[in-house]
Amino acid sequence: MTPQLSSAVNRPAIPWSGATVTAEVDVEPGTRDGAMARHVALCVDTSGSMGGEKIAQAREGAAWVFGLLEDEDFLTIVAFDSEASFVMRPRQWAEISREEAMSKVDRLSAGGGTDMYDGLETAGSALRSMGYRSDEEAVRRILLLSDGKDNDHELDAFTDLAEELDGMGIRIQSAGIGEDYDEETIRTIGTTARGEWTHLEQPGDIEEFFGDAVEAASEVVAPDAQLELDVAPGVEITDVYRARPQAQDVDLDWTDNVAIVKLPDLIEREHQRVVMKVHAPGMDGIPEDDAPDSLLAERRDDGPAEDEHHKLADLTLTARGAQATGIISVEYTDDNAKLAQNNEGVDLDHRQTVVNTALGKGNVATAETQVEKMTRIHGEDTRVVEEAARQTELVKEGGRAERNRATKIVADDDEGLQS
């Protein structure tokens, strides 16, 4: 089954003078026959602070990954302390025994400083050395684990590196363990490379982090996904967020009138959702070449304009070997009954995503302001408002675990996309 797109707006009908609407696009990933080969690089912090149970659990986590690999998969293991080094250069799993792999992992030991940048760059170089084509049937992942702060590199350097790796089709799942890692760096690496960032509370969580990421890679339907929004004249797109699978804000890439939203790889049974604000211009501001017939009739004084559906944006989802299309549209009208229609779920989805993205960054004040607006508009007894208020209070009283959990929005399938 191929991917499918669904879209909805909170106000399906707007006045002829124009309005700003909230829109959301839901991506149903579809299915595929068989799994693609996985190119996995474990990038493990082995600095002095990783000593004891953490490095022991990192070894156990790697061993768990060994049991999930298929013969066609490739595995790389990079360790980084004051500098990065290969524990295992890229090897196809069919060409290495589990015993040999375990013997390499058993040599992991903790000591020295933290050069996370060198570790990430080394892991990326290993995956790049295996070649990359846009039609290649392989899923490429770096699983980054750290409990500390890079000794020398600033956030901008990690952002640039993650963007470079993302451009090579490499997604990064980044995890920080404990309370002393650089949360902003871990979060930025994961979100910039279209993966996820995760907080690990205890060393025992390392195995689950590695295992879940490798298993998810086996369920990829199509890598390198992106959503194109070809907007109509006068239309503006702002406040764009990925709501699922993890709440993250999005910087649009514009080419002429086409905005690009980069998406995580499409994973079977994992819906993705993008929410945004769309400014629909007044019909009097639309050039004649783009105006609907009813508006042209009104401009010629041939009579009153009738209600008119108008396309705000063409939607095109592309991924390696997959494509789907859709539209975002509204109806221009002066019918008060139609103008009163409100798809409340769409607005709530956007506001909840804004709250949860802010909470993921620890911006409690921003989240509280948004919750106040949600309460004033939708009422405090609305389920989504109650959940947003609860998450805000948990983050306010808690720490990194609560911030990370807040970014995972759980929504009912029958809410939001209703028109």
- Domain ranges for the chain, please list them: 4-32+223-342, 37-218, 345-406
Write down the pLDDT at residue 167: 93
Buried b (16+ CB within 10 A) or exposed e, 341-350: eebebbbbbb
Do residues 350 and 411 lie in contact, with contact meaning Cβ atoms separated by under 8 Å?
no
User: What single string gives the DSSP state of each residue in 322-362?
Assistant: EEEEEEEEEEE---HHHHT---HHHHHHHHHHHHHHHHHTT
Residue type for 54, please? K
CATH number of 4-32+223-342: 2.60.40.3670
Same fold yes or no, 4-32+223-342 and 37-218? no
d(CA 88, CA 189): 23
Domain 37-218 has CATH 1.10.10.60: no
Q: CA neighbours within 13 Å on the CB side: how many for 282?
A: 3
| Number of CB atoms found within 10 A of residue 242's CB | 23
Write down the pLDDT at residue 418: 38
Chunked mean pLDDT (size 10), the chain, 419 residues: 92 96 97 90 98 96 96 97 97 95 94 97 94 71 97 96 96 96 97 97 97 96 96 96 96 95 96 97 68 50 59 96 94 95 96 97 97 94 95 96 91 45
Do residues 395 and 366 lie in contact, with contact meaning Cβ atoms separated by under 8 Å?
no
**Cis check: omega of the bond before 245, within 30 degrees of 0:** yes
